[in-house]
Structure 1
Amino acid sequence: MNTLLQVSDLRLHYPRVGLRATPPEVLRGITLQIAAGETLGLVGESGSGKTTLGRAVLGLAEPSAGAIRFAGADITHLSAKRRRPLAKDIQVIFQDPYSSLNPAMQIADILAEPLVAQGATAADARGSVRSLLDKVGLPADAARRYPREFSGGQRQRVAIARSLALRPRLIVCDEPVSALDLTTQARVLDLLIDIQRETGVAYLFITHDLQVVRHVSHRIAVMYQGELVETGSAADVTSNPQNEYTRNLLLASPTADPDRQRERRELRRTLRVTTTNVVTQSR
């Protein structure tokens, strides 16, 4: 396996107000890897630490211990200046397409901005904008429109196009479809899969929904209170979960069948997970 991203025994504390306050440990010894062209789904409830891990990979949160290596190079504690060239290789798609795009900028300017920042000429950037819009299935005339003129799914397509502008090797997808309706979710997920097949980009796909992540991931890692409690292939984790917390996440996913939904609620009542249970099974 050609490892692209390697996270080793990563720990992270957020400071707490007060001289005697013990800083909470948000990440507790996280170890995982992502191969070139692979999608790793990172799943957990709010507060599990999954978004913090994504922020650490992006250089937006400072680890307390451990290491993050990208393409063999240690990027754990890079300064902003030294990290800037990494923008070409590591990009992000944020959760909310309504707030992640500058409402005062036309789509052409939004997509050209990272290219110009990396030294491209205005003419080259304009040519790339047309190609990016085509790649995500938007018409050429979208370039001269503003984000408010698009639906949520279309805005997320613009966000995906922006993340692809510099031809990255890894994209951190932080809940990229959670703000979308189910039909639009499916279209955006299919788009991400098609782009990966075409470009070979790797994804760290962060979500709370195991049903969503099963659709796009090669492997899945499940987080609970800052720890990984289960990892494995997408098929194994979603069809035969070994941890009670993972089973609860599966049962929490909605289904259109009311009888099946009622069964899931009953099963969840019998699978009340305690911290002791989860931590014991993860070791």
Structure 2
Amino acid sequence: MTAPLLSVTGLNVDYRTGRRRSFRALTDINIEIAPGETLGLVGESGSGKTTLGRAVLGLAPVSAGSIQFAGNEIGQPSPAQRRKLSRDLQVVFQDPYTSLNPAMRVGDILAEPLRAQGVSRAQARDRVAGLLGEVNLPADAADRFASEFSGGQRQRVAIARALAIQPRLIVCDEPVSALDLTTQARVLDLFAEIQDRTGVAYLFVSHDLAVIRAISHRVAVMYRGAIVEQGPTERVTEHPTHPYTQTLLAASPVPDPERQRERRLARLALAASA
């Protein structure tokens, strides 16, 4: 059996709200992600999805529990350990309009993490050309500013930046929620193509169960800072056992009008019994 790339065990995250008060954002979180696997993390706004992603990236305070990456504890990384981890752990944010520096050309945006790792200017230039090809952008995109591109193209630039130093895991924090449905589908296809080609793993965060279903091998459902259900995507999305997952499924749009009507009625029944 392959050892997990990421293993989170008994994780609690508390935020201080005063001298003697704190707010518990995450309670007893347990997840694993294998190399080359996508774990979809789904839940409503405020459920703790983004906080879990931040904890994995070393950006949220770990109060208890363990976060291990490739067998090494990273729950409370030192500055030196965080710099080292940046090569293996990357992130794609929700909003491509604000996650890219508008004052930099795309080529410089993609070369920046490479140069920080000591890659020569010539090698960085060649790598940038390859990255643009990987995300299906033209070579001359390197000479243009991010503001010249559409939302979908900007998100492709953000994905290319995350791929620049060949990470082993990418935290994808609502990376398609700001895009229209057609562009969402194209970007999700791109994520899948990249995973097939490189073997990168994803922690894919979304409030949209339809998106999670399209991209994930396994699903973890979050509600009020805890994981209430997890398992293979087909099982969780077709035969959910927790009432909250059932509510999410009933609210998830489907292209078949009859199935959509059935789900609407199921959602109303769940609301009436709550």
Fold match (TM-score > 0.5): yes
TM-score, normalised to structure 1, is 0.93
SS of the aligned residue for 1:14 comes to strand
Hey, what does 2:6 align to over in structure 1? 5
Amino acid in structure 1 at the alignment position of 2:94: Q
Distance 1:30 1:175 in 2: 20
1:59-70 alignment to 2 at 5 Å?
59-70=58-69
Equivalent residue, structure 1, for 2:248: 249
Deviation at 1:23, TM superposition (A): 1.2
Q: Which residue of 2 aligns with 1:219?
A: 218
For 1:237 and 1:31, the matched residues in 2 are separated by 17
Quote the residue 1:280 is aligned against: none
How far apart, in 2, do the equivalents of 1:162 and 1:273 lie?
A: 47
How far 1:48 sits from its partner (Å)?
0.6
Amino acid at match of 2:234: A
1:233 aligns with 2:239: no
Structure 1 window deviating more from structure 2 (204-213 vs 258-267): it is 258-267
Aligned-pair distance for 1:251? 1.5
Instruction: Write the letter of the residue equivalent to 2:158.
Output: A
* Residue aligning to 1:281: none
Q: Note the C-alpha offset of 1:55.
A: 0.1
Could you tell me how far 1:79 is from its partner in structure 2?
A: 1.6
Distance 2:76 2:23 in 1: 20
Deviation at residue 273 of structure 1 after TM alignment: 9.2
**SS of residue paired to 2:270:** coil
Match of residue 103 from structure 1: 102
Q: Give structure 1 stretches of 5+ with no counterpart.
A: 278-283
Matching residue of 1:55: 54
Q: Is the 8 A contact 1:244 1:273 kept in 2?
A: no
Cα distance in 2 for partners of 1:206, 1:114 equals 23
The one-letter amino acid of 1:223's match is M
Structure 2 distance, partners of 1:12, 1:51, is 12
Number of residue equivalences: 273
* 1:241 to partner: Cα distance: 0.7
Deviation at 1:126, TM superposition (A): 0.6
Partner of 1:36: 35
Give matches, 1:101-140, under 5 Å: 101-140=100-139
Structure-1 separation of matches of 2:108 and 2:138: 16
For residue 93 of structure 1, what is the aligned residue in structure 2? 92
Is contact 1:39-1:202 (8 Å) kept? yes
> 1:257 deviation in Å?
5.2
After superposition, give the CA deviation of every residue in 1:51-96 in whole Å (9 maximum; x if it has no partner).
0000000011111010100000001111222210111100000000
1:74-223 counterparts in 2 under 5 A?
Answer: 74-223=73-222
Distance in 2, matches of 1:254 and 1:40, equals 21
Structure 2 runs not aligned, ≥5 long: none
Which whole-Å deviations, capped at 9, do the CAs of 1:160-184 have from their partners, x for residues lacking one? Answer: 0000000000000000101000000
Quick check: 1:115–1:166 contact (8 Å CA) kept in 2? Answer: yes
Q: Distance in 1 between matches of 2:8 and 2:30?
A: 5
TM-score by length of 2: 0.96
**Per-residue deviation, 1:234:** 0.5
- Secondary structure class of the residue paired with 1:24: strand
TM superposition shift of 1:103: 0.5
Q: Tell me how large the CA RMSD over aligned residues is.
A: 1.5
- The equivalent of 2:270 in structure 1 is 271
Q: Is the 8 A contact 1:245 1:273 kept in 2?
A: no
Give a deviation string over 1:99-137, Cα, whole Å, max 9, x none: 100000000000000000111111111110000000000
Instruction: Tell me which amino acid in the other structure corresponds to 2:172.
Output: C
Checking the alignment, whether the CA contact within 8 Å between 1:5 and 1:71 is kept in structure 2 is: yes
Distance in structure 2 (CA, Å) of the matches to 1:256 and 1:228: 28
